[in-house]
Amino acid sequence: MLKFHRDADGDPRAEAEDGWDHLAGWLESDVQGSASLGRKILAAVDKVAVGDLDEWERTGNVYTVTLSPEGAEIRLELDEEAEPLHLHLAELRDALARWIDFAAAGDQRE
């Protein structure tokens, strides 16, 4: 699904398999190495999952992510013809939690 590594500058990078390129791109370009931002988005995922929020949306540098009880949608803003990626909330939560852990581990080493 996703593999994480750091580039030569120490920035977090994600590689996707199985058509999850939008997820990898969103983590790199919009969440970046910010564990704080990642935790805010994770809190929104949890609120939508338990019904405390009907919908949540955030447009970042390159992507818009929309959360609803039906799942998550990651849409590339730079290409209107690109198909969005649809995920279950649990799938997004898992990937985001792993990204946060990875980003935080890098912050501790620096």
Structure tokens at 68: 């609803």
Q: Which helix (H) or strand (E) holds 90?
A: helix 89-109
| pLDDT digits 0-9 by tens, 55-71 | 999 999 999 999 999 99
Question: What percentage of the chain carries pLDDT values higher than 70?
Answer: 95
User: No. of H helices and E strands in the chain?
Assistant: 3, 6
Q: Which residue stretches of the chain have pLDDT < 70?
A: 107-110
pLDDT at 24: 96
The C-alpha atoms of residue 3 and residue 15 are separated, in whole angstroms, by 5
Q: Say what the pLDDT of residue 71 is.
A: 97
DSSP 83: P
User: Which amino acid belongs to residue 30?
Assistant: D
- Per-domain residue ranges of the chain: 2-109
What is the residue whose two structure tokens read 């370009």? 29
